[in-house]
Structure formats: C-alpha cells, structure tokens
Amino acid sequence: MHDHLTPSPWLLRWAHLIAPASEALDVACGNGRHMRWLAEQGHAMTGVDRSAEAVQAASAWGHVLQADIEAGPWPFADRTFGAVVVTNYLWRPRLPDIADAVAPGGVLIYETFAQGNETVGKPSRPDFLLAPGELLTACAGFRIVAYEDGFVAQPDRFVQRVAAVRPGEPSGAPARHVLSGHSACQ
C-alpha cells in the first residue's frame, strides 16, 4: 500500500488547512509516518495505536497511547485537536468520536478504503470498506473543503477521502480555506 516513511499524498495536499503549531491526533498511527511529517511542520503530535511495536516507533514524534479503540473506550473523550488525521483505518463505531475530536476551526483529514476495493485486493470485507457518501455523512456539520470517492491506480485501490473543517467561532467573514494548488485571492 504505502511505505512506512512517506506521508499520504492526501495529507500532504491538505495539511495547509491545519493552523500553525496545532495539536494534532493521528488515529491508528502505525509507526508514525504522519506524526513524523506533521511534527516536522511544527505541530504537537498525539497518536494512538493498538500495536506495542508501532507505539514504540511512533513515540519518537510525540505522545503515543497504546489502546485498542475498537474493544475499549475512546481515550480522547475529553479532548479536542486542531487536526485529526486518519488513513487506511475504519471502525464505524468510532466515526462520531473521531469527528468530535476535531476542535472548532480544526481540520479532519481522512482517507480509507471504499466499496469496490474487494475487486482489486485487501481489505475486501465490507466491514472495512466505506459505502458511497459514508465519509460525508460522518462529517455532517463540517465544511467540506475536498472530497473524493473513486479508484486510484498504482497500487490499485478504491478510496474515499475528505478534508473537512469544523466551523469555528463566527467572525462575520467567511473562512478562506484555500484549495490546494490555488493561490489565495487578494
């Protein structure tokens, strides 16, 4: 799928939406490829993963909690983050908790497998594949800045991904969420 060092291109494309020096959460952080990159950008990192080996490796980039978020409680019920990043992970009962972990004005960058992936490889179980529009439903109440649902080649996979901002305090002016590859208008 991916090497253990290079961040997801989706994260790289939309990370500019994250406010400088934000505290960020990487859900199912693995060895910390996203934690490392975001820490290098100046963000304070928190990660969670159930693997002891992954937690040990990722701890070089911030605070990492070893927890099975599928079998146990959500360990961040009393916290919010300026950014929440999730890649290649889906546990539907946690979707509301993940969305709730995004602070007002914060960003959710989420990318995982979608229906159709069973035709090209793993994961292939419906439990691990998003239905059309399911990620959008999980982001109800967020400002959707970018959304994709389709096929990606090399490696072949079906994905759904979103970059979404939780509305912050009203300031009177609309927020300017610059689209990747576009310069801000003056």
Q: Where are the domains of the chain?
A: 9-165
The answer to whether residue 104 scores a pLDDT higher than 50 is: yes
Q: Please check whether residue 22 is in contact with residue 83, taking contact to mean a CB–CB distance below 8 angstroms.
A: yes
Angle at 141 between CA 85 and CA 91, to 5 degrees: 45
At 177 the pLDDT is 72
Please state, for a pLDDT cut of 90, what percent of the chain lies above it: 85
Q: Please check whether residue 160 is in contact with residue 134, taking contact to mean a CB–CB distance below 8 angstroms.
A: yes
The answer to whether residue 2 scores a pLDDT higher than 80 is: no
pLDDT digits (tens, 9 = 90+) for 8-35: 999 999 999 999 999 999 999 999 999 9
Closest CA to 63 of 88, 90, 81, 45: 45
Token pair recorded at residue 22? 């934000």
Q: Euclidean distance between the first and final Cα of the chain, in Å?
A: 40
Whole-number Å distance between alpha carbons of 116 and 128? 11
Compute the average pLDDT of residues 85-99. 97
Query: Mean pLDDT for the chain?
Result: 91
Whole-number Å distance between alpha carbons of 21 and 19? 6
Residue 144 or 178, more confident:
144
Instruction: Give the C-alpha distances (Å, rounded to integers) separating 88 from 18, 112, 137.
Output: 20, 4, 18
At 152 the pLDDT is 93
At 184 the pLDDT is 44
- Give CA 171 to chain center in angstroms: 26
Compute the average pLDDT of residues 97-124. 95
pLDDT digits (tens, 9 = 90+) for 54-84: 999 999 999 999 999 999 999 999 999 999 9
- 9-165 folds as Rossmann fold (3.40.50)
Question: What does DSSP assign to residue 88?
Answer: S
pTM score, whole prediction: 0.91
The answer to whether residue 3 scores a pLDDT higher than 70 is: no
The answer to whether residue 172 scores a pLDDT higher than 60 is: no
